[in-house]
Each structure stands twice: as structure tokens, then as C-alpha cells.
Amino acid sequence: MKRNFNILLVALLTAFASCSFTSKTFDDPNKDKLLLQLITYLLEEGHFQPKEIDDDLSRAVYQSFLDQIDPFKNYFLKSDIDEFEEFKTELDNQILAHDVSFFNMVYERFLIRFEDSKDVYSKVLESPFDFNLEEVYSTNYENKTYADSNLDMFNRWRKQLKFYTISNYYDLTTADKKLKETDSSFKSRTSSEIETEARESVLKTMTENFSVLKDIRRQDWLSVYINVIAEEFDPHTFYFAPSDKDRFDAQMTGKYEGIGARLQKRMDEITITELISGGSAWRQDKLEVGDAIIKVRQEDEEEAVSVMGMRLDDAVKLIKGPKGSNVILTLKKVDGTIEDLSIPRDEILLEETYAKSTKVVKGGVTFGVINLPKFYIDFQDSNSRNAATDVKKEIELLKAEGIKGLVLDLRNNGGGSLKTVVDIGGLFIDEGPIVQVRSAGNNNEVLSDKQSGIDWDGPLVILVNELSASASEILAAAMQDYKRAIVIGSKQTYGKGTVQNIIDLNRMIRSNTNGDMGAFKFTTQKYYRINGGSTQLEGVKSDIIVPGRFSYMKMGEKEQDNPLAWDEIEPAIYQIWDSSLNYEITIKNSHNRLNSSEQIKLIDDNARWIKSIRDQEVYQLNFEKYSENITSNEKESKRFDKLLDYQTDLTFEPLSYELPIMKQDSVFKINRNRWHKNLSKDIYMEEALNVLNDLNNSDNSKKTTQLKN
């Protein structure tokens, strides 16, 4: 897999260098043109299934970009759209010519309309709303037309802001009533006073939101335009601006270099919202949540840089830095005092990214649970921790605790490294194929576990849901095809059966005078189960289906724009894992339990109700009718309060090696205890352990294999 992509990369770089582009192209000061040139080349030459850049694509890009930049149709007027319309079938020509004229035109007009809208929302919120009027507000933005005039736009904003305000008005009115019921001396505010407070709250929120929106630079909007083009090829082809690439790398590796604090910008102030456990700021124990950063100074510089009013991304760049260096922050502390604080930078590990395990006793038998949030890896450091080595370690720790069965929890795991999923699959089988990969114009490649020996040969259950995607689906599918595990969860997983790779765009330029060009992630391959089927669109069908909150929501690859199609290839040769464990009886027992469970029925009813709420598009702006609707929904929602109260009889416990860590690290202890508490209320985990218990009670005296071709 890695070898094939390296060949593709070399071919692309060589071809690009040998094209008819002159060296002037590489020194072109117009970074936009160069960026579009690079992206277009990769889409046409490197994508698994390239599309024609023609009038059809032009129409799609045209509409998608307008939807991205003005999704609620609150900025552009119909006259603007009429002006843009002439470009509807011209964008293919602009793309091929590496021309961003259409983008420039739309962006410049957007800036004008953005400033206009600030005046509009401020003016609307100057006057009280009349909640006795018979009015409704529709959130079906897709079918909205653009405003014909400034007056039409004013009325559009008026209804939207009234919708926001009536929600605040209802909450404040309800709060006053409750206070009056509990305290007879409490003097309720007048309707006018409550309306004023509700409207002022909306004004504050809108001002904060517009402050954030104003921080979005032209280059950020250009990235949106580039990605509109890229996503016409498939939903996972994507351009990373330099700052986006840094965030992606941190997600993939689970680490970055900095002080270990999460920041938020509200108006002109940047504040600390969280200290990451184990980070240098957390260890130093002087920075506090709520502290505001006023200035940032590097240890080798005398001048501090004010970050008041600065974009959050730009402030983060100043604060982050290489391991071993220091940064000096001028802080306005929570108590109002001002002080300078020097904080060492270090490698920060995002523990929520990494595998973790716990044990639980059921029926006198100990079982293990491993939660894997992502298939992480550091491609730059082969010796660094990755998902496969961590899962292997957790298995060994659980075996030392005497477990008789294992649950691998892949719920909400969106995927990651293909290499790690092959390695993890190898922990549960003794050599054999894990996944098949097809590249454009190439033969199929079978990626196999080549390590002899099995790390865990006992009963195995894999938990999935609608958000288990990509690498999660590969692992679940392989274990299902081998009959090595029982898959429990949603009707099907996400349905992403494509493989993406990333090219650093700077590597494609001989002499770059334009600064960091970012990176491009594009679909280069599709993967297939070892039985020959694809998970694309179809996902992995669970052996045991358990309804969830999102059972009836439109989710998954099939709901995305421009997904690649489902297909199948020849199966690989593999040997079914066959033991005297009776999967059929175990699955039947599970179905019987679930079908007779009142809790499961309530979860299904709740999922249907959630869908009906999400599907609502028209809302009352008359307070009496709005209140009736809220009261009706609250009455119905009380039916589902029992879901929150559900408690299993299971107690999850930390592993032995974690006990001394929990004594020293209070944050680690809090996080582990919170996880264990959530698991003890988790009916899906409860059923997974019921299944393991059934498997453990069946005859497991010997294992045999049979040839599957």
C-alpha cells in the first residue's frame, strides 16, 4: 500500500516537473493561480476516478460554492446572483486556466454584503418583537429564494432574529414562573423587560459570531472554493491550508508541540478553556481556565506581541513552538490581576486519541474492554506509538488480569491509518489477508498479516455504530469474514470504502517563493473485504443490530455528495476461524434478549421521535403557539427520561497498573472514573458482555480451520 503510493507520488512529481510549465510558473507571485494549478493537476492525474472538468462540473461548483459561502441566503441579493449567473458554465474554463476570477468576484461582493448585514441585524434588534403576531419561520434554506431587495433582506433577517429571540424569551419567562412558584416574594419581570433581555442576548451572540466571521481571511475562503472543486470528485478529497494540515497531523498522531492548552476567542479576547492533562501548562499548575492572554513573547525576543483582536489561529501560531523552548504569556488572570508567565513547550499527548482498556466481572468471569477512538500513527516516526502497538499492549495487560473475553469498541471511530488496521487484524488471526486494495488501472493488492502467532485467541466482540468508518469498517469486516468476531451495533456502519493519501504541495514546486502551499488529500484507491465485497456505501452489517439514537437519521457515505459507487471484486484466499463456539445460538439468544427488552424498545421510540424533531422545518413565532409546541415536545420527551436513568449491574474497574497513576494524576483519575461510569449505563456494552458471557459458556475445547476461496 505505502509502496504503491510512493510509486504514484514519484510519477506525479516527475510528470509535473516534465510538463510544459516553465520555471516562471514555479516563481509566479500569484499564489492562487499556482495553488489551483497544483490541485487541478493532482485531480486529473492522481485521483482514483477523475471526472471531466466540463460544464456539468462547472454548474455543480457554482451552486456548491454559493451554498457554502451563503448557506442561509442571508447575504447575497437576487441581483448579485443574476450577475454571478453568467459564470455558471464558465468555471470549468477558469479552473483549467487556473483562474480564480469568479471566486474573487463572489468574495468581494460577499465582503460588501457582510458589512451591510451587520447594519441590518443591529437595526432589527433595536426594536421590540411582537410575539402576538401570527408568523412562522422556515429553516428550509435550500428552497429559499434570494432576497429581491434590501427591504426583503431586512424582513428575512427580522424573522430569523425573532426566531432566535423567542427561544430566549421562552426560557426567561419559564425561569421567572418557576422562581415565583418557589418564592412568593419574587417579583416577576414584565413581558417587556423579558423581551428586552432576550433581544439583547441575541444581539450579543450575533456580535460575537460576526466577530469570528470577520476573522476569516480571503485565503480561508479560497480554501473553501478549492475544496468545493475537490469535493466534486468525491467527499474525501480535500485541500489542507497550512494550519489545517497541522491540526490534521495532531489528530493522526495524537500529539503536537506546545504548552498543552485549548483556547477560545470571544470578541477581542483569547481565553484558556482547558488544560490538557500531562501537558507542560498542566504540570506547571499556574495557568488557569478563564485566564485571558493579552500578549505573547518568545524567549529570544524582547518585544511582546499583543493578541487582543488577533485571529485565534494566528495567536495559536505564536504560542505553539518546538519542544524545549519557552513562551512568555502576559495574562489577565481570573481575579483581574495582570502577570507574565513563562511556560515551557513540550510534546503534548492527546490522551483522548489513544487506546484505553478496562476490566469488568460478569457472572464471576472477568472480561476486558478496549476503546479505540482512532487508528492513529506518526508517519514521520516509525518508532512512535501507534494504534496497533497500543492495542497489543492493552491486550497483554488485560490477559494479565485473567480476562476470558474481549470487547473492542470502535463506536465513533472514523478511521485512520490503513497500516495499523492490518497490524491490529493480525493480533486476532494467525497470518492471512485483512483487506484488498485496488488502485486506478492497477491489479488488486491483498494486504495481509504476515506475523505468525495470535495475541488474543479468545471470544471477541466488536462494537460499531453509524459513525464507525473506513479503517473501523476494514477491521470489523475482516473479523466478520473470518468468523473471528461477532459484530454488534447499528444496522450498518458509515460506508466509506475509499483510501486517501496526502501530498505536501511544497514538494511539487522547484523554487517556492509563495510561502507554505499546504497539502492535498485525495482518493487514490478503493478497498474491499477479503470476501470481495466493498464497504463503500453499504458499510458493514452488524450480526446483532441494536437500535440507537441515530437509527432513523440520514447518515453515512450514501448521504454525502458525489460518493464513489459500490462494486465488488474476486475474494481473497483465506481460512475461516472455526471453533466450537456456537455463534448462531449466541446471536439468536441476543436477538431474544433485545426483542424482549423494554429499554431497547424505548431507545427505538426515542430514535423515531428524534428524527421527527430534526425533520421539523417550520416554527411558530407566535408565543402562545410556540409555547404549545415546546410543551408538547417536553411532554413527549419525558417518556425518554428513563433512558438517562438506565443502570446496568456491571462495575468497570481500572487495570492494576493504573492504580498508582490515578493516585498521582487527578485528571487521569477523573477521566477514567467518568468513562467507567458511562460504561456502567451503556446498554450496548451490556449486551456485548452478555454475548461474551454466552460464548464463554459454550464449548471452546478446540479450534479448527477450513479453506475458503
Spell out the domains of the chain, with CATH numbers in brackets: 55-232 (no CATH), 255-349 (2.30.42.10), 351-504+525-649+680-708 (3.90.226.10)
Paired strand residues for 182: none
State mean pLDDT over 485-506. Answer: 94
State mean pLDDT over 446-473. Answer: 94
pLDDT in the model for residue 247: 62
Q: Residue by residue, what is the 3-state secondary structure of 300-319? A: CCCCCEECCCCCHHHHHHHH
Between CA 681 and CA 648 the distance in angstroms is 6
The residue ranking higher by pLDDT, 191 or 337, is 191
Please give the share of the chain, as a percent, with pLDDT higher than 90. 60
pLDDT in the model for residue 255: 58
Q: Crossing angle, helix 683-697 and helix 583-595, to 10 degrees? A: 140
Look up residue 80 and give its DSSP letter. H
Between CA 242 and CA 240 the distance in angstroms is 6
The grid coordinates of residue 673 equal 472514573
Is the torsion defined by CA of 401, 404, 408, 411 positive or negative? Answer: negative
| CA triple 49-51-53, angle to 5 deg | 155
Residue 532: left if φ>0, alpha if ψ -120 to 50, beta else—which one?
left
pLDDT tens digits for range 249-267: 655 555 567 788 888 877 6
Comparing CA positions, the residue from 76, 29, 49 lying closest to residue 536 is: 49
CB atoms within 10 A of CB 52: 9
pLDDT in the model for residue 347: 73
Check pLDDT > 80 for residue 380. Answer: no
The top-scoring range by mean pLDDT among 155-159, 178-182, 292-296 is 155-159
Q: Of all helices (H) and strands (E), which one includes residue 388?
A: helix 387-400
pLDDT in the model for residue 401: 96
Q: What average pLDDT does the structure give for the chain?
A: 87
Check pLDDT > 60 for residue 369. Answer: yes
pLDDT in the model for residue 550: 82
Check pLDDT > 70 for residue 348. Answer: no
Is the torsion defined by CA of 435, 550, 463, 400 positive or negative? Answer: positive
72-81, 487-496, 498-507, 683-692: range with lowest mean pLDDT: 498-507
Residue type, 704: T
pLDDT tens digits for range 100-144: 999 999 999 999 999 999 999 999 999 999 999 999 999 998 889
83-92, 361-370, 558-567, 631-640: range with lowest mean pLDDT: 631-640
Task: Spell out the residues 6+ positions from residue 532 whose beta carbon is closer than 8 angstroms to its own.
Answer: 436, 568, 569, 570, 571, 572
Q: Which segments within 251-364 are labelled E, that is strand? A: 255-258, 261-266, 269-275, 292-298, 305-306, 326-332, 338-344, 346-349, 356-362
Band (pLDDT 50/70/90 cuts) for residue 592 is very high
Check pLDDT > 50 for residue 97. Answer: yes
Is the torsion defined by CA of 685, 686, 689, 690 positive or negative? Answer: negative
Band (pLDDT 50/70/90 cuts) for residue 37 is very high
Q: Of all helices (H) and strands (E), which one includes residue 685?
A: helix 683-697
pLDDT tens digits for range 18-30: 443 333 333 344 7
List for the chain the helix, strand, coil content (%; round to 5): 45, 20, 35
Check pLDDT > 60 for residue 3. Answer: no
pTM more than 0.85: no
Which residue's entry shows cell 477560545?
264
Q: Number of C-alpha atoms within 13 angstroms, CB side, residue 679? A: 26
The residue ranking higher by pLDDT, 177 or 350, is 177
pLDDT in the model for residue 165: 94
CB atoms within 10 A of CB 36: 24
pLDDT tens digits for range 207-226: 888 887 888 889 899 999 99
